[in-house]
Homo-oligomer: A and B are copies of this chain.
Amino acid sequence: MTDATTTRRMANAIRALAMDAVEKANSGHPGMPMGMADVATVLWTKVLKYDAADPHWIDRDRFILSAGHGSMLLYALLHLTGSKEMTIDELKRFRQVGSKTPGHPERGHTESVETTTGPLGAGISNAVGLALAERILAAEYPTLFDHRTFALCSDGDLMEGISQEAIAIAGHYRLNKLVFLWDDNSISIDGDTSLSDSVDQIARFEACGWNGVRVDGHDADAIEAALRATEGSDKPTLIACKTIIGFGAPKKAGTEKAHGSPLGAEEIEGARKALGWDYPPFEIPDDLRALWLEAGRRGAAQREAWEKRRAAVDPATLADLERRLRADLPEGFAAAMAEHKAKLFAEPKEMATRKAGEAALTVVKGQLPELISGSADLTPSNNTLTKNMTVIRPGEYGGSFMHWGIREHGMAGASNGLAIHGGLLPVDSTFLVFSDYCRPAIRLAALMKIRVVHVFTHDSIGVGEDGPTHQPVEHLAALRAIPNLNVFRPCDAIETAEAWEVAVASKTRPSILALTRQNLPQLRLKDVGENLTAKGAYELAPANGVAAVSLFASGSEVSLAMEARERLEAEGLPTRVVSVPCMDLFLDQPGAYRAEVIGTAPVKIGIEAAIRQGWDAIIGSDGGFVGMNGFGESGPYKEVYRVFGITTDAIVSLAKEKQANGA
């Protein structure tokens, strides 16, 4: 055990590394690491369950730096506790290209960074997902999961709306092993937080079903006592740590000047004096090094005890858990999906792809116990609560479906948390138009390369009467714009099943399934023994003869293309139809495949009940397009399609016109 004086010295090591690294980079945020160094030191040396020798130990406590701009706090902690990767040289390369120490912590890039943070509120929502994941896994594997989640958050984090959604979720679901350490420093970039905020945070957390306590964030004993008091709580806890931003800096501490810029040589010298830190930049005295390394191994005995418990688990159970942790699919998965598709081929049915999605999801869930579904209060519309799921409730975590409430952003952020925990596959759902609410979280999932599946139904003006507020027109393009994200828009039940297959097999890429409200015919009628959706686009129907016209369509518009093809063929224009269920995957294909699918027909027409942006990559800037130019309209959906000219007639006319014009 270390006394308060030693703890302060250990904390000063963090402070020194933070100010030195930011100074060397001539860029960064020294204020938060210096302000929260005492709190972080107490947490990491006395409370957090972890073992630096095995940073991937699945039952470790999770530490989330939601205030990601304070990345040097985390990098210093990893360095001091003995991360092999986080050498002193990496600290010296803070914020340089190729370093392990980018400006904001990046999961996947740096070992032991649990999640990518920086955009405020994201870490908080991830922490809620992590705490929920622990409860779900503990219900299934009671001897293997029993850990806590600590999130360090800033004033800015608590102002963001996503945080309030996530906090309400955590309170409702009684995620009692979740602790927020709020850096209550009363400073934001613009100055004193009183410029823009007068919320009573403790009261607001309490209203959401949390405990709330205040401590002096520079009093090690008080911090430790507050942390100890959270053990065994029946609610999540907010610990408001009153701190001084840039603690130690003689002139800038307690002001916004300490937040986001190097302190400067003079101020650093003053801080060294004030903190009694007599060592040169990037040097840590041996006694503190030893104490920190010892702290880094504090969890070794706990981990060894856990290894013994693991050894006692039934081997088949353990093998399946390990498969889940690798995000592999179980042996029976391919056969189950093949059987599902065989039934569809045997008895083709007209149905909405949201219904087809439900049928496929039922099969997927039957194979993947790790699948956790949920909806932002559109369960009966999204069709994501299947018969083989039970509902997760406060205190009852053995189920597999989450009622997230009307909290799309919080849901998507928590889904990221479920994914990064390991052992679970999150599937969430809302209307496609509300993907806009989820967008910051979707982007972070793509950046983190994690597997999350979003089921976004009601994917076009096919929504009908709900009108333009609920009819996505730009969302497919806007989502396709996000790198490392697959946007599927299947045309029938077969493509929907194929999209599910690809999505769950995509270990390093999130997926979106954009599904219809309205019924669609089944267009894929023959089992070719191959997942055609996996290539993004393929020829669904060839031309009879040398193609004069190529029609490219996605989702609900593929059936219009097929009807148009019939009519054009009847009028003597050989016409082929290409289905484009995933433009992202298609553009990833080798050039030869792309050229073959795009083909050489002189007339190329894209058809999608959405804006044109992005389609030129297939049809060329001189191609024809049948789709939307602006927002939709309220009315029965078939009429709305007619109003906007997305019809078989329009496709046929455009094809003939372009053919006549020799284009």
Expressed in whole angstroms, the Cα–Cα distance for A193 and B168 within the complex equals 13
CB distance from A104 to the nearest CB of B (A): 5
Cβ 8 A contact of A198, one of B103, B172, B190, B477:
B172
Contact assessment for A96 and B469 in the assembled complex, using a CB-CB cutoff below 8 Å: no
Q: Per-residue 0/1 for A135-177: is the Cβ within 8 Å of any B Cβ (1 yes, 0 no)? A: 0000000000000000000011101111111001101100000
Contact assessment for A377 and B156 in the assembled complex, using a CB-CB cutoff below 8 Å: yes
Q: Which single residue of chain B is at the shortest CB-CB distance from A405? A: B196
A298 interface contact, C-beta 8 A: no
Q: Per-residue 0/1 for A457-489: is the Cβ within 8 Å of any B Cβ (1 yes, 0 no)? A: 000000011111110011001101111100000
A278 interface contact, C-beta 8 A: no
Contact assessment for A379 and B620 in the assembled complex, using a CB-CB cutoff below 8 Å: no
Find the residue from A197, A446, A473 having the highest chain B CB count within 10 A: A197
Query: With A484-B630, A633-B102, A634-B104 known to touch, is A198 a contact of B209 (CB < 8 Å)?
Result: yes
Contact assessment for A204 and B208 in the assembled complex, using a CB-CB cutoff below 8 Å: yes
B residues less than 8 Å from A473 (CB atoms): 483
A20 interface contact, C-beta 8 A: no
Contact assessment for B474 and A97 in the assembled complex, using a CB-CB cutoff below 8 Å: no
Binds B, one of A223-231, A567-575, A610-618: A610-618
A87 interface contact, C-beta 8 A: no
CB distance from A299 to the nearest CB of B (A): 29
Contact assessment for B466 and A197 in the assembled complex, using a CB-CB cutoff below 8 Å: no
B residues less than 8 Å from A195 (CB atoms): 391, 403, 405
B residues less than 8 Å from A409 (CB atoms): 161
Q: Which single residue of chain B is at the shortest CB-CB distance from A385? A: B190
B residues less than 8 Å from A157 (CB atoms): 406
Contact assessment for A27 and B405 in the assembled complex, using a CB-CB cutoff below 8 Å: no
Q: Which single residue of chain B is at the shortest CB-CB distance from A409? A: B161
B residues less than 8 Å from A97 (CB atoms): 633-636, 639-640, 643
Contact assessment for A118 and B613 in the assembled complex, using a CB-CB cutoff below 8 Å: no
A9 interface contact, C-beta 8 A: no
B residues less than 8 Å from A440 (CB atoms): 434, 436-437
A206 interface contact, C-beta 8 A: yes
Cβ 8 A contact of A189, one of B161, B165, B379:
B379
CB distance from A185 to the nearest CB of B (A): 14
Contact assessment for B465 and A159 in the assembled complex, using a CB-CB cutoff below 8 Å: no
A592 interface contact, C-beta 8 A: no
A375 interface contact, C-beta 8 A: yes
B residues less than 8 Å from A162 (CB atoms): 161
A444 interface contact, C-beta 8 A: yes
A521 interface contact, C-beta 8 A: no
Expressed in whole angstroms, the Cα–Cα distance for A157 and B161 within the complex equals 12
Contact assessment for A168 and B190 in the assembled complex, using a CB-CB cutoff below 8 Å: no
Contact assessment for B116 and A469 in the assembled complex, using a CB-CB cutoff below 8 Å: yes
Contact assessment for A404 and B477 in the assembled complex, using a CB-CB cutoff below 8 Å: no
Contact assessment for A203 and B207 in the assembled complex, using a CB-CB cutoff below 8 Å: yes
> Restricting to A87-104, which residues have a CB under 8 Å from any CB of B?
95-99, 102-104
Contact assessment for A436 and B434 in the assembled complex, using a CB-CB cutoff below 8 Å: no
CB distance from A645 to the nearest CB of B (A): 13
Query: With A197-B168, A483-B629 known to touch, is A118 a contact of B161 (CB < 8 Å)?
Result: no
Contact assessment for B161 and A635 in the assembled complex, using a CB-CB cutoff below 8 Å: no
B residues less than 8 Å from A480 (CB atoms): 613
Expressed in whole angstroms, the Cα–Cα distance for A636 and B25 within the complex equals 9
A378 interface contact, C-beta 8 A: yes
B residues less than 8 Å from A633 (CB atoms): 97-98, 102
Contact assessment for A467 and B436 in the assembled complex, using a CB-CB cutoff below 8 Å: no
Find the residue from A157, A378, A410, A480 having the highest chain B CB count within 10 A: A480
Cβ 8 A contact of A406, one of B102, B159, B394, B464:
B159
Contact assessment for A403 and B635 in the assembled complex, using a CB-CB cutoff below 8 Å: no
B residues less than 8 Å from A643 (CB atoms): 97
**Which residues of A come within 8 Å of B, CB atoms?**
25, 27-28, 68, 95-99, 102-104, 106, 116-121, 155-157, 159-165, 168-169, 171-172, 188-190, 193, 195-201, 203-204, 206-209, 375, 377-381, 391, 394, 403-410, 433-434, 436-437, 439-440, 443-444, 446-447, 464-470, 473-474, 477-478, 480-484, 611-614, 616-622, 629-631, 633-636, 639-640, 643
Instruction: Give me 8 other A-B pairs in contact (C-beta within 8 A), A436-B443, A473-B483 excluded.
Output: A98-B635, A103-B467, A160-B161, A160-B165, A198-B394, A484-B631, A612-B617, A619-B621
Show 21 residue pairs from A and B whose CB-CB distance is below 8 angstroms, ordered by the A residue: A95-B465, A104-B469, A118-B470, A159-B168, A160-B407, A161-B162, A161-B409, A172-B198, A190-B378, A200-B208, A203-B203, A207-B207, A443-B474, A473-B483, A477-B477, A478-B481, A481-B611, A483-B611, A484-B631, A616-B617, A619-B621
